[in-house]
Structure 1
Amino acid sequence: MEPRVPGEPLGVIAGGGQMPRIVAEAARARGFHPIVVRIADAIDDDWSAFDGAYYPWGKTGDAIRFLRRRGVARVVTCGTVSRRPDFRAILPSFATLAILPTALRVVRGGDDRLLRNVAAFLRAEGLEPLAVQDVAPQLLAPSGVISGREPGPQERAALVIAATAAAQLGSLDVGQAVVASQERVIALEAAEGTREMLQRVADLKRRGRIGRAERLVLVKAIKPQQDERFDLPSIGVSTIVEAEAAGVSAIGVSAGKSLVIDYDALVAAAREAWIAVVGLAADQGAAPTMDAGPLGLEERR
């Protein structure tokens, strides 16, 4: 995606983590002028190299006005938001009071419903929501081996079990991640998120609730009904670290529909931990596609 005019302002609604900065830098490289509105977990992040401002949840309406005053017509929403906004427990600005009934409707329901509501809300405010991959397509996970090590037979069997369970979990709008062994499903992600789910798996392993012969895998998969402009499954170096601590030896993600953050560093971390990372075929219930073989950096790009 290219700017409609040179220097077109592009809104980046940024939560925490690395992804918003990657997106903003990619947008700048494509000729956009990123306008970064920081929210939630991004409160302490240093964005001094970019135009923009921080807005607490109580000033959501002011953030929308700020973007429109800066000539923004298209926006990308990305980054971590560890807590949903509770508009009933904050003192909103007048601009936010004007949109409060809509804002209260937006935050109801599961994650997928919330994200669809966000898209509808942005359109109603005159802003076109874009996907991360529209601006930074290099983040999309390829099909086949990503980390350089192919999964073994037990890991392949576990990936099929985890991917099948993840598809069912996603259809209920519960979560995106599953840990399984070649014998059974071990853990399902819900509201706690992937990090805390993996901590739970590590605790189960410490308490002997997971057999020594069980090879654990993690699958992060897009939900069947998910709006692909928002919250694609993502993995980064922190995922590798947390997976290793939980005893996970292979990770699968939806090929072409999930994001790999800081690819070089992830590959290095996965090789160091001897964790296989693979992009799974679109048919998540089938055996993972391994035909691509080990992908070097140049092939990935």
Structure 2
Amino acid sequence: MPEHIGIIAGGGQFPRLVAQGAREAGLSVVACGFHGHTDPALAGHVDVFRLLHLGQLNKLLAYFHDQGVRRLCLAGTINKPRALDFRPDWRAARVVFSLRTKGDDSLLRAVLGELEKEGFEMLSAADLVPSLRCPPGTLTRREPDPEAWADIRYAWPVAAGMGRFDIGQCLVVRQGMVIAVECLEGTDATLKRGAELGGKGCVALKIAKPGQDERVDLPSVGLTTIRNLVEGGYAALAVQAGKTLFFDREASLTLADKHKLAIVALPDDFA
């Protein structure tokens, strides 16, 4: 009998890719998703699947215990505005109300801690799909021009400082000015707002928060991200090499090259 791995699945394609990677590694996949967040079609890519409402922590724990799962990973996105409507059971409520701040990182670390208390070993979902990790260097044909490089150097420590307060991972700058900061709305809305406020020629960064646990919420970009950058007339995108997941990379880079958008993946100690 193959060894089990459990996936706590949010939205997007990441849970499906993780399930595929796990199965290719000979693992049996047990997944749990959330109504309004997880694509129900994930059921066709795993061995056992169940949907719960966000906040039903006791039911989630019981489900994985009943399936004999001992190793778990988190994969996929949670729509933040919808997440405000969740109705926690007593256990989830205890986790939430014990936190001084309710940022993504604080909340996810608390959830990890609760899962580990139950005896689950928490893994990084990215390790099951290592090809998604962004390689270092200039990924597009076009390099950032000197003005874009200046904005990237300015914005990198600003984004890191923002991350220390558990605010967000995406930052938009232009000519040495902060134009937009990711908050509750998410990356795509931040990019659209940045383009509206800053006009053509903005630079976007998306990097991990300092000390971020790689088992949860690694930064990610993909085709929708690149479309928003192109539509907004952005000059460049900078991400963190090795810590950013790049979905649909080939199609994304083709689109970026077509519209002369520069994309670079930089080391942790850049700037």
SS in 2 for 1:224: coil
Matching of residues 127-142 of structure 1 within 5 Å: 127-142=120-135
Q: Which residue number in structure 2 is paired with residue 82 of structure 1?
A: 79
Contact 1:16/1:45 (CA < 8 Å) preserved in 2?
no
1:13 aligned residue: 8
Letter aligned with residue 127 of structure 2:
D
Specify the alignment match of 1:297 in structure 2: none
Q: Helix, strand or coil: the match of 1:157?
A: helix
Indicate yes or no: 2:41 matched with 1:46.
Answer: yes
Report 1:1-301 matches (<5 A). 7-49=2-44, 50=46, 51-57=48-54, 59-83=56-80, 85=83, 90=87, 96-97=89-90, 100-102=93-95, 104-105=97-98, 109-205=102-198, 210=199, 215-284=201-270, 286=271
How far apart are the structure 1 equivalents of 2:182 and 2:156? 13
Deviations 1:117-150 (A, max 9, x none): 0110110122111112221111111110123322
Once the two structures are TM-superposed, the CA of residue 48 in structure 1 deviates from its matched residue by: 3.2
Deviations 1:99-124 (A, max 9, x none): 65335446952111111101101101
| Residue deviations 1:141-165 (CA, integer Å, cap 9, x gap) | 1110123322222211111122121
CA–CA distance in 1 between the matches of 2:107 and 2:205?
Answer: 23
Shift of 1:190: 1.9
- TM normalised by structure 1 equals 0.81
User: Cα offset for 1:73?
Assistant: 0.8
Q: CA RMSD in A?
A: 2.3
Question: 2: distance between equivalents of 1:203 and 1:261?
Answer: 25
**1:220 partner amino acid:** K
The 3-state SS of whatever aligns with 2:43 is coil
- List runs of 5+ in structure 1 lacking aligned partners: 1-5, 287-301
Counterparts in 2 of 1:136 and 1:107: CA distance versus 1, 3 Å: farther
Instruction: Tell me the distance in 2 between the aligned counterparts of 1:120 and 1:177.
Output: 26
Query: Could you say if the C-alpha distance between residues 269 and 55 of structure 1 is closer, same or farther in structure 2, counting changes exceeding 3 Å?
Result: same
Separation in 2, partners of 1:150, 1:233: 22
Instruction: Name the CA shift for 1:218/1:41 in 2 (closer, same or farther; >3 Å).
Output: farther
Which 10-residue stretch deviates more, 231-240 or 18-27? Answer: 18-27
Distance 2:61 2:84 in 1: 18
1 CA distance for matches of 2:223 and 2:84? 31
* C-alpha distance 108-37 of structure 1, shift in aligned 2 (>3 A): farther
Q: CA deviation at 1:57?
A: 2.2
Counterparts of 2:250 and 2:236 in 1: how far apart (Å)? Answer: 18
Q: Determine the structure 2 residue equivalent to 1:292.
A: none
Partner secondary structure for residue 230 of structure 2: helix
Q: Structure 2 unaligned runs (5+)?
A: none
Instruction: State the shift of 1:216 in Å.
Output: 1.4
User: Is the CA contact 2:12–2:39 (under 8 Å) kept in the aligned structure 1?
Assistant: no
Is the partner of 1:114 in helix, strand or coil? helix
Change (3 A) 1:85 1:108: farther
* Structure 1 residues 74 and 148: alpha-carbon distance in aligned structure 2, compared to 1, 3 A threshold: farther
Greater Cα radius of gyration, structure 1 or 2: 1
Distance 1:223 1:165 in 2: 11
Q: Is the 8 A contact 2:195 2:202 kept in 1?
A: no
**For the Cα contact (< 8 Å) 1:178–1:220, is it kept in 2?**
yes
| Worse overlay, 74-83 or 264-273 | 264-273
User: Cα distance 1:106–1:29, how it changes in 2: closer, same or farther (>3 A)?
Assistant: farther
- SS of the equivalent of 1:170 reads helix
Structure 1 residue matching 2:30: 3-state secondary structure: strand
